[in-house]
Amino acid sequence: MTSEMKEAGAASGESSKPQAGATGQPAVRLTEFLDLATLQDIQDSLAMVAQVKATILDNNGQALTQTTVSERFSTRSAAIAAARKQRGDTNLDQPFAAPIIVNEVKLGTIVMEPAKAAPIKNSQVTKLAKKLGFPAEQVRTIIEAMNEEGMGQRTASVQFLYLLANALSRLCSQEMQLRQRIQELTALFNVSTMLSGSRGLQQILDRITRGVAETLHVKCSSLRLLDEHRDELVIKSVWGLSESYLKKGPVTVGMSTIDRAALSGQTISIADMANDERVIYPEEARTEGIVSSLVVGMLYKDRPIGVIRVYTAEPHEFTEFEIKLLQSIASQAAVAIENARLQEEALEKDRLERQVQIAAEVQRRMMPARPPEIEGFDISALYVPCFELGGDFFDFIPLGDHSLGITVADVVGKGLPASLQMASVRAALRAQADNVYDLDEIVARVNKSMSLDMRSNEFITLWYGALDYKNKQLTYCSAGHEPALLVRNGQIRELGVGGMVIGVDPEQRYDKEVVQLEAGDVLWIFTDGVPDAMNYSGEKYGKQRMREALLKYAGEPAEQICRQMLWETRRFVGLNRRTDDTTIVVMKVTE
């Protein structure tokens, strides 16, 4: 290296030693962003336009390019040197140098030794200005100032040199940003690809922690999900952390200022975990051998769901690029986690729905597929649950050569709990039905059996009758159920003898009544889904409308009575959603 270059390096005010970036990694080289051919071309253009001697050095002061000397530089330099010597001016023969700096890191130096220039060629000025990305007039003005004698020339030369150095810095910075974006997009693509191929929430969580550690080149990483009920961040996945560190203790949002900030959308960088007062377990961090940490919250639609942490084994200052990359990964992770949760919930919902469908099928099989055919009687039944599973039921129980048990019941509540209670009371009733006509005793035993297992807010209404169809005699008992209606000769009689609902008082006693049936009688047994059917105005169908409709259709066959009565309630309700199960049993005496 020439003495002029050494002096130029010193004149730049920059150290000639290699410099490191913020992450502690070796500094990048100028040639990583601008190849030698491009640097040489820019240097040659500079020498030609400004009629100077120019060289570009690396960050160690070594020449990267071949020194360019313009055609007239040597002869002019000798003449100028002689004139300066005669005037006693010795300071103006020093070369000028300007550092090329990107993100506070010196990549190299450009050195120029000026001399009085020849007339400027417009085409050369335009070409150089285009390469540097500066207005041609600005370049021309500075070069013209370099033709002047004395201090003006020196000032213009320095100005032009720094203009050129800044242009090279800008080109390198643009290239660096482009590469960082490519690196970030590549990392995000890799993480996205990894997450998209995951099945199940835990697999996604494990791939996130592994992907974060590998992408950011850190020692380890962890992922905690927020348990809102306990206000705790529960560890769900780790990469590179020991079992003993994971058992260090709970992390609640209330006790961790770091995690509170992360869950609010901030990114927290910790330089030294062992000595940062915000860290909850500093000694455990020292024992684990982790020093620096970066914490980013995972938010889904502005709702916090957890945090991602990365740890390094050495002191580390996280760069803006690393912070943005982890933020992007955390954002993707939040979406992937919520999607996985929704998928698992959907799968669980499908599984439950299949179970409910199976239970509903079992429940339907508990009810008679068709009413019994008895000479002299026309019997029909209809059951419409509010949900897939219901608490209403009806049953026909054969009791002997000429007897039939008829029951309609309504379990308080809806859905699966009510359906299980329905199955229990049906089994209990069938178990006690051998006593044929001792209906008061049958219902009392059912009540006692059910009361042992029912809660204080649970109960069942039940209407049970035993029909002696040979003698056309009906014995019945009502346990808090809506009275059955007997239509005879255009008049309606309520059959409501019995006692209180089942499941409240195990010692409750019940009464029974015997009714002699006649030809043309219609027995209407129902649950409160019929009179309580409600329209959009909040008005109930009511017992009065039900009675009027029953009298209207009493002359029809039993099945037609069921369907017409159901149609009447549906027409009244309109498009309003049903809120209760509907069960109807109709028995008509035909002879």
Q: How many beta carbons lie within 10 A of that of residue 349, not counting itself?
A: 10
Q: Which helix (H) or strand (E) holds 295?
A: strand 293-300
Helix ranges restricted to H, 367-438? 415-432
Task: Tell me which of 170 and 183 has the higher pLDDT.
Answer: 170
pLDDT digits (tens, 9 = 90+) for 547-570: 999 999 999 999 999 999 999 999
Q: Please give the structure tokens belonging to residue 260.
A: 């509170």
Q: DSSP string spanning 434-492?
A: GGTT-HHHHHHHHHHHHHTT--TT--EEEEEEEEETTTTEEEEEEEBPPPEEEEETTEE
Top mean-pLDDT range of 53-57, 89-93, 416-420: 53-57
22-38 pLDDT tens trace: 334 445 677 877 778 87
Average pLDDT, rounded, for the chain: 80
The CA distance from 392 to 461, in Å, is: 10
Q: Which residue has the higher pLDDT, 357 or 463?
A: 463
Least confidently predicted of 355-364, 406-415, 524-533: 355-364
Query: Which residue shows structure tokens 């009689």?
Result: 493
Mean pLDDT value of segment 277-305: 93
pTM of the predicted structure, to 2 decimals: 0.51
Give CA–CA dist 487/277, Å, rounded.
85
The single residue listed with the structure tokens 């195990």 is 506
CA distances from 239 to 142, 267, 292, 376, 381 (A): 58, 20, 16, 80, 64
pLDDT tier at 192, thresholds 50, 70, 90: low
Domains and CATH numbers, the chain: 3-179 (3.30.450), 197-344 (3.30.450.40), 367-589 (3.60.40.10)
- Decide: 582 and 546 in contact? Cβ < 8 Å: no
DSSP type of residue 31? G
Do 38 and 21 contact (CB within 8 A), yes or no?
no
- pLDDT number for residue 92: 45
Q: What is the pLDDT of residue 9?
A: 37
The CA distances from residue 14 to 59, 98, 100, 160, 205, in Å, are: 9, 9, 10, 18, 48
Give the integer Cα–Cα distance in Å for 75 and 490: 135
What residues have CB less than 8 Å from 119, skipping those under 6 apart?
none
Nearest to 35 by CA among 180, 181, 175, 184: 175
Residue 512 has pLDDT above 90, yes or no: yes
d(CA 500, CA 510): 8
